[in-house]
């Protein structure tokens, strides 16, 4: 008897429906075809034990299983439940006449209980797109898949619940997710707030500008100045994610199995990899490609602490993703792409000792040592960082103040209003959403300077020995500062403020 069960394979962040065809006929044998990996080939042992421990059995006949399309590689243990239900139906142990209505996925334990799977959200989205009535999967993944509206999502604990649903019409309870409530809960759980930061008003202002325009930023200062503390608070002033951004972010984390509690990721990610990270772990890849840290920070912040300590080759692979906001991984048989639209926040000491600008420090580095240290970061990478800000240690009287500074909520309100101006400005362009993404042509259209401002920029570039690469960055940042003040045109004071955020372009830093 031939039976068809529907599963799904995930490549990149998109799913493809897989038809599991099970045929039970006379003879002896177990044949599994359709490019399964080792985890799927081993499934017959898990399935046999699970069925035996729940009153079923593997039939002593010839079992042929084809996973179509046969030229698409399938991997992972999530097909256990699909295979088991197919075997039970094809051998007549259960009567399942409506298998065509459901996608079924889950990893079986030997006692028949179900373990969580990866990629539940992309699979649920694909099931809805292709017109399936429901999705049966492990209970621990139910909230994640339940985000998808107009699809019945049934979370089950063990295989007997599935067999009873099909064979005895015992109903399963669908999982319903209140998306609005999830947004509220996660936004209320913010751990870091700018009100905790003492002093550093200039740096906080710079980070507000970075958040408003989506600009990459680098913090330069000695150890203990508060660079990491400030970076961790940046997500708290970014505009709240909309439902499309939340779904994109959740899909990526779903693929790598990083969703632990709740279904929807509503808070912007903050990723901070160690400086020993490999290029594959940062960008993504591997024998079976997985998203890297830059994709896991999609719609959020990627923080690289002590930037010069990272291997230069690791930093260089970020150049293309920073520009394209997408990373493409190519292998001999396939190519996958992962989105990676993130804000890069980097920090570094100004010199190997960390006290290049501190005349009172006994461990000052020479100018030559400082140049070698800065030379670890390539010019093309710095090209993609719009804001450079020096972070100085906070004096004792500021640290001892009991008065709290401005909180993240107030700053976020201003940032959100500035982003709304940018959304309106770029509404006709689906690829550009905020100022940092502007192309050269858009800079010319939206960053027009009057004669006085143009003369100011010319004078500053000459007097401060700013490099040519600073020109477009200054204009982008000026546009964001004007947006924060709800000004239609860039004015001289906006330009003057933007110029001071180009520390690393000045002679004496990189020469």
Three state DSSP letters for 9-47: EEECCEEEEEEEEEEEECCCEEEEECCECHHHHCHHHHH
For residues 291 and 339, the answer to whether their CB atoms sit within 8 Å is no
d(CA 66, CA 238): 48
Cis peptide before 69 (omega within 30 of 0): yes
- Give the CB-side neighbour count of residue 4, counting CA atoms within 13 A: 10
213-226 burial, b at 16+ Cβ within 10 Å, e below that, comes to bbbbbbbbbbeebb
Cα separation, 98 vs 207, in Å, equals: 56
Lowest-confidence region among 118-132, 263-277, 291-305, 320-334: 320-334
Averaged over 395-400, what is the pLDDT? 72
Please tell me the predicted confidence (pLDDT) of residue 430: 72
Q: Which of 398, 437, 485 is nearest to 200 (CA)?
A: 398
Calpha distance 410→365 (Å, rounded): 40
Provide the pLDDT for residue 24.
95
Residue 364 — very low, low, confident or very high, per pLDDT cuts 50/70/90? Answer: low
Report the pLDDT averaged over residues 63-84. Answer: 94
Please state, in angstroms and as integers, the Cα–Cα distance from residue 18 to each residue in 68, 123, 264, following that order.
Answer: 6, 11, 25
Provide CB contacts within 8 A for 246, sequence distance 6+: 183, 264, 265, 266
Buried-exposed string 132-143: b where 16+ CB fall within 10 A, e elsewhere: bebbbbbbbbbb
Token pair belonging to 302: 């990627």
Rounded Cα distance between 275 and 354, Å, is 17
Please provide the distance, in angstroms rounded to a whole number, between the alpha carbons at the two ends of the chain: 77
Using DSSP's 3-state secondary structure scheme, residue 160 falls into helix
Query: In the predicted model, is pLDDT for residue 510 greater than 50?
Result: no
Secondary structure class of 328 (helix, strand, coil):
strand
Q: Hey, what are 230's tokens?
A: 């400030």
Query: Quick one: average pLDDT of 183-187?
Result: 69
pLDDT of residue 357: 52
Nearest-angstrom CA–CA distance, 167 and 94: 5
345 strand-pairing partners: 217, 303
User: Among 255, 260, 199, 186, which residue's Cα sits nearest to residue 229?
Assistant: 199
Which domains does the chain show, CATH number per domain? 2-167 (3.30.230.10), 189-398 (3.40.50.300)
Is residue 8 within 8 A of residue 126, CB to CB? The reply is: yes
Do the Cβ atoms of 1 and 92 come closer than 8 Å? yes
pLDDT, tens digit, 9 for 90 and up, residues 443-489 = 989 999 988 899 999 998 888 777 766 788 899 999 999 999 999 99
- pLDDT, residue 267, reads 87
Tell me the whole-structure pTM to 2 decimals. 0.88
Question: In 258-340, which ranges are continuous DSSP H helix?
Answer: 279-283, 293-296, 312-316, 319-324
Give tens-digit pLDDT for 86-117: 999 999 999 988 999 999 999 999 999 999 99
């Amino acid at each position: 008897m031939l039976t068809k069960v529907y599963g799904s394979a995930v490549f990149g962040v998109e799913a493809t429906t897989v038809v599991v065809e099970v045929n039970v006929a006379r003879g002896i044998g177990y044949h599994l075809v359709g490019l399964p990996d080792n985890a799927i080939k081993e499934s017959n042992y898990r399935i046999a034990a699970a069925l035996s421990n729940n009153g079923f059995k593997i039939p002593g006949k010839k079992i042929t299983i084809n996973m179509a399309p046969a030229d698409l590689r399938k991997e992972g243990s999530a097909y256990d439940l699909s295979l088991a239900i197919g075997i039970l139906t094809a051998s007549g142990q259960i009567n399942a006449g409506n298998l065509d209505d459901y996608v079924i996925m889950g990893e079986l334990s030997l006692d028949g209980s179900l373990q969580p799977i990866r990629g539940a959200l992309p699979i649920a989205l694909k099931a809805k797109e292709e017109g399936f009535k429901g999705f049966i999967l492990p209970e621990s993944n139910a909230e994640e898949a339940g985000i998808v509206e107009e699809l019945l999502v049934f979370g089950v604990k063990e295989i007997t619940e599935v067999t009873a649903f099909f064979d005895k019409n015992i109903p399963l309870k669908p999982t319903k997710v209140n998306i609005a409530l999830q947004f509220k809960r996660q936004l209320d759980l913010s751990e870091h707030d700018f009100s905790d930061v003492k002093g550093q008003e200039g740096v906080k202002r710079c980070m507000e500008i970075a958040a408003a325009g989506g600009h990459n930023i680098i913090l330069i200062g000695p150890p203990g100045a508060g660079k990491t503390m400030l970076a961790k608070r940046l997500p708290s002033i970014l505009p709240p994610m909309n439902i499309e951004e939340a779904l994109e972010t959740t899909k990526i984390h779903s693929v790598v199995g990083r969703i632990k509690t709740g279904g929807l990721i509503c808070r912007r990610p903050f990723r901070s990899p160690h400086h020993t990270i490999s290029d594959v772990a940062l960008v993504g890849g591997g024998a079976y490609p997985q998203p890297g840290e830059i994709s896991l920070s999609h719609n959020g912040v990627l923080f690289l602490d002590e930037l010069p300590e990272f291997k230069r080759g690791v930093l260089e692979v970020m150049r293309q993703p920073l520009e394209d906001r997408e990373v493409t991984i190519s292998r001999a048989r396939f190519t996958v792409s992962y989105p990676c639209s993130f804000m890069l926040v980097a920090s570094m000491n100004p010199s190997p000792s960390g006290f290049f600008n501190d005349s009172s420090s006994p461990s000052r580095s020479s100018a030559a040592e400082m140049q070698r240290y800065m030379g670890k970061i390539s010019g093309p990478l710095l090209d993609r960082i719009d804001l450079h800000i020096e972070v100085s240690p906070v004096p004792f009287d500021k640290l001892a103040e009991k008065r709290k500074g401005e909180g993240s909520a107030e700053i976020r309100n201003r940032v959100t209003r500035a982003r709304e101006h940018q959304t309106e400005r770029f509404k006709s362009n689906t690829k550009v959403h905020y100022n940092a993404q502007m192309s050269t042509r858009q800079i010319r259209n939206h960053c027009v300077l009057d004669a006085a401002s143009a003369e100011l920029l010319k004078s500053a570039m000459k007097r401060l020995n700013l490099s040519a690469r600073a020109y477009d960055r200054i204009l982008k940042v000026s546009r964001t500062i004007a947006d924060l003040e709800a000004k239609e045109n860039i004015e001289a004071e906006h330009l003057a403020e933007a110029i001071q955020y180009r520390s690393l372009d000045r002679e004496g830093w990189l020469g």
